[in-house]
Structure 1
């Protein structure tokens, strides 16, 4: 049973937010009890502020009464970062969903955190602009959530992640203070870079209430390559070649044999192969053929089976629709899935792929690997039946081995999903005690009472 909140605190929130802005009914609590990690804890209440002033007052009330506060966007995250803890309240940014300004001359947009990525892209199209981050949930995920976990997506290989595409923020610290950092400019050597510190902090340092986003002109045209290889190692070696030459692909996706089998099982027209790369370039009509030629030359090499070009239109869309269908289709192999988005230097992708294949054989479980190879960011999916005690145990025993392999290759625990609860306890393996101490010092400075999303990101001392 959820602990009761202090009467004075509840009265403050009722007065601040009104009946429709502060809810404790079962329907509201259940709707905000989990994210896409499927972890589940009922909050003690859900707040729906309409503006930054209400967020400031809400944080100050939580600080006064020592009530933990968990910010939430659309709930599409996979690490448990938006899952409340017992006795905490959830702050939903669903009502702070306005696009405040689109400034084509400055190539930026000013938005509230509840704006959906897909809605922003639609609003930018008439201006010939887009915001580059494109996670698989782009149509339904929020900008605030993208910033909180530093979301990326396939386009990140050329255009960068959320952190690379934000210019400034307005945020409320755990002390209830409104801070402003950055602005509608691309160069800034003034003081500490708080903007990029807050992006990726998963709501543990401050709550973003406004963001100035860096926009990019829409490309004139795009085209892609589908490249099939004898085995995963040959494809991984090709990734290293592709990223070592001057033309930067817009997207560079890797899929292993298990991924291809799954695509065929779900009706996609994918030939038999040991692995596949999807490579895309964008540009204008004059330069694009030369870009594709350079990428095709780099993709050729030992183990190549076939290389096909898909220009604009249905052929190209079919390729990417197949890639997007992969993650949900995994549950047709097994109902249980541990999906970790580890990152290694691009040159170490062959070793990561080989190591994951060895773990699959060692633990007797299917492990399907695909992802954003151009950034060294691969999604390692350990598949198992949760009701099979042996498979369950082996899957969870394999997980730390995946992380150990990644770190041994000079990599890191996450490229775009974040840490949340899922990877928190592995942070001590990824960072030295002194580095973690510095992170805790920053947390203490911005959130002195530890009320913002406690228990996430940083491991227990």
Structure 2
């Protein structure tokens, strides 16, 4: 529990809160809607939680400049609705989009299925206003997609999980909504053949707008638990193309050719929009459906090079056998960003111990495969102690030095992201 919770409505109040906490050396933890899975918004050191639920305004929507200016508490879904009225969208689309905030998206560099073509949050933010740990308001970036004016603090702050300061305003890059979409479902006899197809898909000129992966266990659970109409398979890819209705058939044909190959046992079209939405609904419902298998799950969003996906899945299967736990893999194959879900009962002490050991095993495997600890969830508390292995000592020292510059008193979300010295 924190010592207190503040709900500011304006930037000046945020500055006053941070200044007061600076003088009192009290920890400050930002909170959006709390959907993160790594403990980054938990006030583990007590102090003040600053909730941005009342700073939720869409300050400006400028279709002519393809941008929106928002407060951090604005829901991703509300921004999407407002932008859609003008024929635009903001590309980061995590599963939690209807109820996560833009501030939380910025804190973790959130992505989602569309990131394979349109990029994650870091690729779709033009500028930020930030209250640093000394109470000063810092502005970085601006209103243009091109800029070469000093250090790029905007991209640096994104993904910093509130350890440098509190984002109080963001200028976001909007993209035109595609006029048409079409989805394919490709089934394979093994993870290896599906991963080879991913490599082929990403090597040809037509970039899919989404490319999602599910291993065989995940396919089975989606069918048996989620009620999805999916035949048995060793692995599944969901592929989508978007664009102009006149050229879309050519793009889909190119993706189909790339998806076809050794190990492919079926490639089906979603013939209309209803079928496409049903296909993606099954994917988005998968993570919540896992709760019906076990009361607890550890969801780690690790990333490996696309060619290493089979090795990662095999390592996860070995961990599943070793620890006697169900572990399923699915996620954003085009980026090599897989969600490994370790299912267990938190009320069972032995299962909890084995689940934590399995999580550490996943991290070990990822790092040995030249991967990284997180693609879109962040580091928080859950992965903090692995940072020393994921990042070399000189780089980690530079990160600490930068934090000290932004946050000289060390009050901004202490104990998160960077391991203790």
TM-score norm. by structure 2 comes to: 0.98
User: What residue number does 2:305 align with?
Assistant: 345
Distance 1:245 1:70 in 2: 44
- Paired residues of 1:348 and 1:409 also in contact (CA < 8 A): yes
Residue 392 of structure 1 and its aligned partner are, at CA, apart by 2.3
Point out which structure has higher relative CO (alpha carbons under 8 A, 6+ apart): 2
Q: Is 1:159 the counterpart of 2:122 in the alignment? A: no
Distance 1:263 1:344 in 2: 24
Q: Is 1:126 the counterpart of 2:85 in the alignment? A: yes
Q: Greater CA deviation, 212-221 or 385-394?
A: 385-394
Would the alpha carbon gap of residues 182 and 260 (structure 1) be closer, same or farther in structure 2, given more than 3 Å must change?
same
Q: Is 1:242 the counterpart of 2:201 in the alignment? A: yes
**Larger CA Rg, structure 1 vs 2:** 1
- Paired residues of 2:89 and 2:177 also in contact (CA < 8 A): yes
Deviations 1:407-452 (A, max 9, x none): 1111100000001111111111101111110000000000000011
- Structure 2 portions without partners, runs of 5+: none
Residue 338 of structure 1 and its aligned partner are, at CA, apart by 1.1
Distance 2:74 2:155 in 1: 20
Distance 2:4 2:305 in 1: 43
Distance 1:447 1:79 in 2: 22
Q: Is 1:278 the counterpart of 2:217 in the alignment? A: no
Three-state SS of the structure 2 residue aligned to 1:74 is coil
User: What residue number does 2:129 align with?
Assistant: 170
Residue 363 of structure 1 and its aligned partner are, at CA, apart by 2.1
Deviations 1:129-182 (A, max 9, x none): 000000010000000000010000000000000000000011110000111111
| Residue in structure 1 matching 2:323, options 341, 355, 363 | 363
How many aligned residue pairs are there? Answer: 420
Distance 1:86 1:77 in 2: 18
Q: Is 1:394 the counterpart of 2:343 in the alignment? A: no
User: What residue number does 2:289 align with?
Assistant: 329
- Paired residues of 1:132 and 1:156 also in contact (CA < 8 A): yes
Distance 1:234 1:169 in 2: 43
- Paired residues of 1:251 and 1:281 also in contact (CA < 8 A): yes
Residue 126 of structure 1 and its aligned partner are, at CA, apart by 1.4
| Residue in structure 2 matching 1:66, options 14, 25, 31 | 25
| Residue in structure 1 matching 2:374, options 398, 409, 414 | 414
Residue 351 of structure 1 and its aligned partner are, at CA, apart by 1.6
User: What residue number does 2:11 align with?
Assistant: 52
Distance 1:85 1:327 in 2: 26
Distance 2:291 2:191 in 1: 22
- Paired residues of 1:222 and 1:312 also in contact (CA < 8 A): no
| Residue in structure 2 matching 1:113, options 51, 55, 72 | 72
User: What residue number does 2:166 align with?
Assistant: 207
User: What residue number does 1:31 align with?
Assistant: none
- Paired residues of 1:233 and 1:353 also in contact (CA < 8 A): no
- Paired residues of 2:379 and 2:417 also in contact (CA < 8 A): yes
- Paired residues of 1:172 and 1:179 also in contact (CA < 8 A): yes
Three-state SS of the structure 1 residue aligned to 2:92 is coil
TM-score norm. by structure 1 comes to: 0.90
Q: Is 1:296 the counterpart of 2:256 in the alignment? A: yes
